[in-house]
Amino acid sequence: MLKGCSNALQQDSLSRTNVNHCLLVMLLYNIKMYLPCRMFMILLVIIAHGTLKAQINTDQVMNIGRNALYFEDYILSIQYFNQVIKAKPYLADPYFYRAIAKLELEDYIGAEEDCSLAIERNPFIIDAYQVRGIARQTMHDYKGAIADYDKGLEQMPEHKVFLMNKAVCEEVLGLYDDAGESYEKLLSIYPNYENAYLGRAQLFLAKGDTIQALDDIDKSIEISKNHAGAFVMRSEINMSYKKDFKAALDDMNEAIKLEPHYAGYFINRAYIKYHLDDYFGAMSDYDYAITLDPTNVTAYFNRGLLRTEVSDNNKAINDFSYVLRSDPDNFLARYNRALLYYKTGQYKDAISDLDVVLDKFPDFESGLYTRSECKRLIGDMTGGERDYNEARRLSRQKKDLAKYEESDEAAGTKAPEESTAAVMNKFNTLLTVENDDEIKPQYESKTRGRIQDNNFKIDLEPMFFLSYYDRSDAVVEKTYYIKEITDLNTSRLLPFVLLLSNKNFSLYEDQINSHFKSIEYYNGLLSTSEARSIDYFARAMDFMTVKNHEEAIADFTRAIELSPNFSLAYMGRSYARYMQMMTDINSADDNNTSTLPMAGSMGVPPTDVGGFNGEAMLRERKTSYTIQKIIEDLDKTIELSPRNVYAVFNKGNMYMELQDMTSAISCYTQAIEMKPDFGEAYYNRGLVYLRLGNKDRGIEDLSKAGELGILPSYNVLKRMTN
């Protein structure tokens, strides 16, 4: 019965068409082979009754990991495979299965490395070559991928996935004859394999043969009408090559029926509707695409252009502003917003945007004319005349250049490359998105499935702090250990159990009241009894919990004065100072927003904001001084507690506040050396490396951080590798 189920599952895998998910088929087969259906429930019963031994049972943990993988809980599965690898690093399987999880999370470097480790331990795991080949193919290492596929084909010469992926790689490398032969062999073995026809259609398109490409696409759709990618490809041919927008619309409608949750299809359909003069339909599709993917810059940009065309100028400005918040170097959006500012009489804002554009494209004649007019309208006659004269000079130069090009063409010489002005004149063009026919699973939990598709804010992992509460987002519950915390809890001198966390939390009303009562208790105690450092420390923790950072700093200081070697008091004061600093910064920002216009915005040039820069300079100096005091507290903490890795990590974050990235990397590296499984340190160091332009080191660190359970790593990896 089990064998029949496995064969059925393997046969079903032959109909899977998405190259990026072909590996999951073999995974499912392996799981079903080695893990009976009832095992999962049995394991749950074992865990529930607490019969697991202190010594890790690697077979049991492997089974749980494979179950997590089967149910697409990739992060959780990695944690279990980590345990097996730590206990038995000579086994090949945990590396292989962890590679599958990493590949599904789009950590392609990590997947490749794990497959290599699996192959080193067992070179006969054919599936490992498949997974590594897909990872390499996705990272554009097509020659390396072909080598892996060839290795697999040595053992399984008729393997569908190896043949298909190899053909795709050959086509990308321009080996059209080799790719054609691979497709011929594939279709001779599997004549009803619809994905092979789509692959060969792409090959024909690369060779410029649209007729043969359409024939293969039609054949693919004839075999299976459930493949959205086939309709999308045919839509693109009808749209781009044949200019048959009606036929293109019909195909895109079919693709959307099959995959209604992919925003890119709605963007492309809106583009088609625009060319069919269906502006209302196009606008509706852009709106829905943004509903599906609220961060889709292409949808906002296109909607902004369409709103401009129908004179909905203020909303168009909002769309282009969103694009610029996401991509400040998007000169297309900035120029279009400048034109809208000009149309709506916001001349200073228009000049601000045009300054940025003309700095990049100084020969942009139209931009100079527009800025000239804006300057004239705000009374800057000298600046307006200067821009106007420069635009006139460029116009005459362009006419002379045109005559020169005509004479060169008559003489048979090559015309110069396209001018920057010509490039800029192409700004008002709707965009389409690349074809992506992958069905993306939907999950409610951020720790299930393809968590890298969630839009995490890319920021450093925050500082660690002393707390009475913790809110963990980790899949495997983490315990951050400091000996001094354990000793203090053992002494029972505090009213609550002390913890270490780096996650913010919100208290319930009864919890807040309990801490106010505790503050009242210590007020009475300290006023009637001999002062002890632990009592000031306890009251400081209460003040920290209720966000009274100023009083917390004062009490931590009193505790230090009474006990100069109280390392936790220094650590507590460092974080209290940090929170007070952030409170002051946010308060200053709020005050400036409400009372003073921001420089360069709301039509006020930077020079018009009297005293603003001086105040900002004073705040910056105060902030820098506070950071130095925080670092001093952390240095004292480390001096008194040399194994306090979290103080070292916090020091790295403080150096990042000072933009001292070299010192920050040094701190994160020291923290990793002290605690090799410190995922937060890998994550932060990876982000710093990326900011410094060291992409390879950054991706390597983020891959390791993801392996250690830092969820946002996969989102950053996706952004940096796509």
Domain's final residue, options 605, 621, 640:
640
Name the 3-class secondary structure at 564: coil
Q: Are 389 and 365 in contact (CB under 8 A)?
A: no
- Coil, strand or helix at 664: helix
Is a pLDDT exceeding 50 seen at residue 613?
yes
pLDDT score of 305 more than 80: yes
Give whole-number Cα distances, 625 to 409, 618, 620, in Å.
Answer: 66, 11, 9
Q: Side chain identity at 141, as an amino acid letter?
A: D
Selected residue with higher pLDDT from 228 and 421: 228
Residue 105 DSSP symbol: T
Q: Residue 437: is its pLDDT beyond 50? A: no
Residues 470 and 483 grouped into a single domain: yes
Q: How far apart are CA 415 and CA 408, in angstroms?
A: 7
Q: Minimal CA–CA distance to 643: which of 666, 612, 674, 608?
A: 674
Does any domain span residue 226? no
Residues 72-80 have a mean pLDDT of 83
Same domain membership, residue 647 and residue 553 = no
Cα atoms in the 13 Å half-sphere on the side-chain side of 221: 19
Could you give the dihedral angle defined by the CA atoms of residues 642, 644, 645 and 646, in that order, rounded to the nearest 10 degrees? Answer: -140
Residue 548 has what DSSP assignment?
-
The pLDDT tens digits of the residues spanning 201-227 come to: 999 999 999 999 999 999 999 998 888
In three-state form (DSSP H/G/I as H, E/B as E, the rest C), the secondary structure along 199-228 is HHHHHHHHCCCHHHHHHHHHHHHHHCCCCH
Q: Kindly state whether residues 546 and 660 are assigned to the same domain.
A: no
Half-sphere exposure of 701 (CA within 13 A, CB side): 22
Q: Is residue 546 over pLDDT 70?
A: yes
Tally of domains in the chain: 3
| pLDDT at residue 33 in the model | 39
Q: Is residue 296 included in any domain, yes or no?
A: no
H or E element, residue 1: none
Instruction: Output the domain CATH number for residue 522.
Output: 1.25.40
* Tens-place pLDDT, residues 112-131: 999 999 999 999 999 999 99
Q: Which two tokens stand for residue 502?
A: 């780096």
Torsion of Cα atoms, 329 then 333 then 336 then 341, to 10°: -80
State yes or no: pLDDT of 158 exceeds 70: yes
Q: Which residue in this structure is represented by tokens 């000298």?
A: 382
Residues 568 and 606 in one domain: yes
State the Cα–Cα distance between residues 332 and 329, nearest whole angstrom. 9
2 pLDDT more than 50:
no
Domain boundary among 640, 656, 677: 640
**Which structure tokens are listed for 476?**
């495997």
Residue 574 lies in a domain: yes
Residue, of 414 and 60, whose pLDDT is higher: 60
Q: How confident is the model at residue 80 (pLDDT cuts 50, 70, 90)?
A: confident
Helices (H) and strands (E) in the chain, counts: 35, 2
State the residue for tokens 């990896």: 717
- Domain of 337, in residue numbers: 331-403
Split at pLDDT 50, 70, 90, the class of 40 is very low
In 35-159, alpha helices (H): 39-48, 58-70, 74-87, 93-104, 108-121, 126-138, 142-155
Which pLDDT band, with edges at 50, 70 and 90, does 457 fall under? low
Contacts of 227 (CB under 8 A, 6+ apart): 17, 194, 195, 198, 220, 221, 258, 437
Looking at every residue in the chain, the average pLDDT score rounds to 82
106 occurs within a structural domain: no
Mean pLDDT calculated for residue range 642-667: 95
Same domain for 627 and 553? yes
532, 622: one domain: yes
440: three-class secondary structure by DSSP: coil
Distances 594 to 349, 557, 561, 659 between C-alpha atoms, Å: 20, 35, 41, 28
pLDDT for res 507: 72
Q: Which DSSP helix (H) or strand (E) runs through 280?
A: helix 279-292
Whole-number pLDDT of residue 54? 37
- Per residue, the 3-state secondary structure of 386-408, as one string, reads HHHHHHHHHHHHHHHHHHHHHHH
Of 578, 565, 574, residue with least CA distance to 639: 565
CATH code assigned at 361:
1.25.40.10
In whole angstroms, what is the distance from residue 549 CA to residue 501 CA? 17
Q: What is the mean pLDDT of residues 350-359?
A: 95
Taking alpha carbons only, the member of 124, 126, 81, 72 closest to residue 99 is 81
Residues 512 and 544 in one domain: yes
Where b means 16+ CB within 10 Å and e means fewer, 294-328 reads eebbbbbbbbbbbbbeeebbeebbbbbbbbbeeee
- Residue 168 pLDDT greater than 90, yes or no: yes
- pLDDT value of position 661: 93
Q: How far apart are the first and last CA of the chain?
A: 43
Cβ neighbors of 463 (< 8 A, separation 6 or more) are 502, 575, 578, 649, 650, 653
In a domain, 446, yes or no: no
Instruction: Assign 406 a pLDDT band (cuts: 50, 70, 90).
Output: low
> Burial, 435: exposed, middle or buried (Cβ in 10 Å; 0-12, 13-18, 19+)?
middle
Cα dihedral sign, 669-675-676-681: negative
Cα 344 to chain centroid distance, Å, stands at: 36
Q: Is residue 701 over pLDDT 50?
A: yes
CA dihedral 634, 635, 640, 642 (to 10 degrees): 90
Q: For 552-585, how does the pLDDT look when each residue is reduced to its tens digit (9 = 90+)?
A: 999 999 999 999 999 999 999 999 999 888 877 7
User: What does the alpha-carbon distance between residue 647 and residue 478 come to, in Å, rounded to a whole number?
Assistant: 17
> Residue 73, SS3?
coil
Rounded mean pLDDT, 190-199: 92
Same domain for 695 and 608, yes or no, is: no
What's the pLDDT score for residue 685? 96
Q: Which of 617, 640, 663 is the last residue of a domain?
A: 640
**CA–CA dist 220, 214 (Å, integer):** 10
Residue 243: burial class (beta carbons within 10 Å; 0-12, 13-18, 19+): exposed
607 and 720, same domain (yes or no): no
Number of neighbours of residue 613 by Cβ within 10 angstroms? 12
CA distance 267 to 232: 12
For residue 449, the model assigns a pLDDT of 54
* Structure-token match 């998910």, residue found: 21
**What is the Cα–Cα distance from 559 to 488, expressed in whole angstroms?**
14
Is 298 among the domain residues?
no
Please give the Cα distance from 73 to 449 (Å, whole number): 5
**One-letter amino acid of 492:** R
630 part of a folded domain: yes
Q: Are residues 610 and 722 in the same domain?
A: no
Residue with token string 């196009």 = 282
Task: Judge whether 123 lies within some domain.
Answer: no
Contact 391, 369 (CB under 8 A): yes
Q: Does 620 lie in the same domain as 582? A: yes
Task: Give yes or no: residues 388 and 481 share one domain.
Answer: no
Q: Give the CA angle between residues 413, 418, 424 to the nearest 5°.
A: 165
